[in-house]
Amino acid sequence: MDDKKISIAVIKRLPRYYRYLSDLLDAGITKISSKELSERMDLTASQVRQDFNCFGGFGQQGYGYNVRKLYEEIAEILGIEQAYDVVMVGAGNMGQAVAKYDNFKRRGYNLNAIFDINPDVVGNTIAGIPVYHLDDMVEYIKTHKTDIVTLTVPAKVGTTIVDMIGGLGIKGIWNFSYADLHEAAEKYGIIVENVHLSDSLMILGYRLHTEK
Ligand code: ATP
């Protein structure tokens, strides 16, 4: 399987397939047709077939898909079997909410340390995770395996943080801040995934006044 050939549009649907297939396995279902799966997921059967064809199929005409094989393949593509070491910068409201949400840990993303500059939070723990001063971050990353930095800081400090971690071997940034990091990340070869909750809310607002 060459995952470079899978388009980002397909990749974006994989977590949802993964959750559905997990539910099917829990229910003891071992085979499912593209039609059944598409109905459950509100997609078209041809969309499901096209998506699964991208990474090897696992279906046979008339017999349906092997649920476990698909589940395992999607887990591999998403890197779910892999464990990632994560640090977070910014222990404000958003940082604390993300740190407390332990679903990420079950997916193999281990949050090991949090950094901030606010003396009210430095020295505390959040969900059992220590909060250190930002001044200690570079040394921490140099001495502790760290794959991902989660950014929950104000927009204006986002690029400063990327400049601090660039060249330290960080592979990805999970960017909740509104800083536009594409240039900085390109410079250091770091992959950025943005999570902009207010943007999502604005889209809901737009849909409410256009679709209702
Ligand atoms: P949130 O936006 O998450 O609700 P908040 O409103 O409490 O948080 P923000 O001003 O957005 O606060 O800052 C988020 C966190 O980032 C705060 O805990 C703040 O102390 C921290 N922070 C601000 N500047 C830096 C920096 N340069 N390095 C590390 N942390 C920082």
Mind listing the pLDDT tens digit for each residue in 84-137?
Answer: 999 999 999 999 999 999 888 877 899 999 999 999 999 999 999 999 999 999
The confidence score (pLDDT) of residue 62 equals 65
Mutate to test the pocket of ligand 1, among 88, 118, 131, 150 (most ligand atoms within 8 A of CB): 118
Does the reported pTM lie above 0.75? yes
CA atoms within 13 A on the CB side of 22: 10
The confidence score (pLDDT) of residue 59 equals 61
For the CA of 95, the closest atom of ligand 1 is 3
CA distances from 148 to 102, 103, 181 (A): 16, 16, 14
3-state percent breakdown (helix, strand, coil) of the chain, nearest 5: 50, 20, 30
For the CA of 97, the closest atom of ligand 1 is 3
Least confident of 17-21, 58-62, 179-183: 58-62
pLDDT over 60 (residue 157) = yes
The confidence score (pLDDT) of residue 112 equals 97
Per the prediction, the chain carries an average pLDDT of 90
The confidence score (pLDDT) of residue 3 equals 45
Which residues line the pocket of ligand 1, CB cutoff 6 A? 89-95, 115-118, 121, 134, 152-154, 157
